[in-house]
Every structure is written in structure tokens, then in C-alpha cells.
Amino acid sequence: MSNNTGRFITFEGGEGVGKSTNIQFVSEWLQQQGIRTLITREPGGTEIAEKIRNDLLKAHHNEDMSDLAELLLVFAARAQHLEKVIRPALASGTWVLCDRFTDSTIAYQGYGRGLSKEVIASLKKLVQQGMEPDCTFLLEAPLELGMSRARGRAADAGEQVDRFETEKLEFFQRVQQGFTELAEQQPRFRRIDASQPLTQVQKAIATQMEQLLTTGGLV
């Protein structure tokens, strides 16, 4: 990437680990450095992709959603999001902060549902055309802690349980294993202990951001 294009930073991890909270923190941190940011999320981020998100998350349909349909919907939403929001923002010099991206697909649809990693890799190639995040923060916390934080927040906001939240514990254990393996394989990951108090989590993220900016990891 040339220096006047934005950077693409993704936030990954299980339910309730603090992705939404910390994406906001990173956005404010970058803005203090004079960097323009855009916060977005997956599935979602455009009108059409948000409609797909609603179908993906809706807990009860009159029929079960097939695993393959789920995978294709995730990538359909991503294709729209990349073309209409992410690529134009990056091209204009805005840094894009995205709550989940394809690592979630590998973790949830690959490890969680057991869909073929090769099929996911070929869809990724088709949709992303070689594009990867510049950096990915993986927020890690024990499953029970993340779940209880997510339920607490959902109860406060009066939100319903979504389709993924109805899955069994073993599903989320496989997903977590997926994220761990991805982070071990790829240097773009920054692993953050999200079980700490929020001030500590944000201190760790700020340290990583400073390093990335000063060592040229992102610029």
C-alpha cells in the first residue's frame, strides 16, 4: 500500500470480549494522532449487508439455515461491504476499523460449523482479491467471561439472543481454537488479554498501536 492510503485494522475474538468497546477506543486514539477513521462491522456495514446480517443473526426462521447458505451469505455481505465501503474509504486515506472480518468466517464457519477450509479459502480469494487486514487485534478471554459480559450488555439494552448465541459450548470452544491457531500462524495478529480490567486492556492496545506506528508496521 502507498503511504496516502488508509490502513485496514480488524478486531476479532469470541462473543463479549470487548470488540465494540475497544474499536471505539482505537478510533479515538488514532483521531488524536490526526488520523481519519471509519468504524464498521461484519456482517454488515452497508444497507444490503446489514439486511443479510439480520437474516444471519435472526434466531428463528421457519426453516433451518444450511451451513453452506450461511457461509455464502457471510461472503455476499463482505463483497458488498468491500466494494461499497472498505475499499473506497481506504483509497481516500481513511483508516478502516472493522469489527470482525474473514478470520471470523474461518473460526465460525470453518472451525465451528466444520465447513471445508479450502472452500472458505477460495471464496476469500474471490471476494478479497489478495487484500488482507494490515493488523488484527485478537481479544482473548475465557468463554464464560465473554458470554457473561455479552449477556449483561444485551440485558441492559433489551436485546434478543441471536442465532449464534443459541449454539452449544463445544461450538464456541472450536471457534476459540480457530482464532488461536490463526493468531499463531500469522504475524498480522496482536493478541490482547481481554480478561483484564478495561483500563489495562486499553493500555495494552495503545502500546501495540504506538509500536505499529513508530516501527513502521502500519505506515
Which residues form the interface with ligand Z5A (CB under 6 A)?
A: 15-21, 42-43, 74, 99-100, 104-105, 108-109, 149-150, 152-153, 164-165, 194, 197-198, 201
CB 219, min distance to ligand Z5A, A = 27
CB 197, min distance to ligand Z5A, A = 6
For residues 89 and 36, the answer to whether their CB atoms sit within 8 Å is: no
Whole-number Å distance between alpha carbons of 137 and 9: 8
- Of residues 153 and 214, the one with the C-beta less far from ligand Z5A: 153
Secondary structure letter of residue 196 according to DSSP: S
**Kind and range of the H or E run holding 192:** strand 189-193
- Of residues 201 and 218, the one with the C-beta less far from ligand Z5A: 201
Extract the C-alpha cell encoding 18: 470487548
Can you tell me which residue has the cell 439486511? 51
- Of residues 7 and 100, the one with the C-beta less far from ligand Z5A: 100
CB 42, min distance to ligand Z5A, A = 4
- The SS3 call for residue 5 is coil
- Of residues 7 and 10, the one with the C-beta less far from ligand Z5A: 10
CB 4, min distance to ligand Z5A, A = 28
Closest residue by Cα to residue 76 from 105, 96, 103: 105
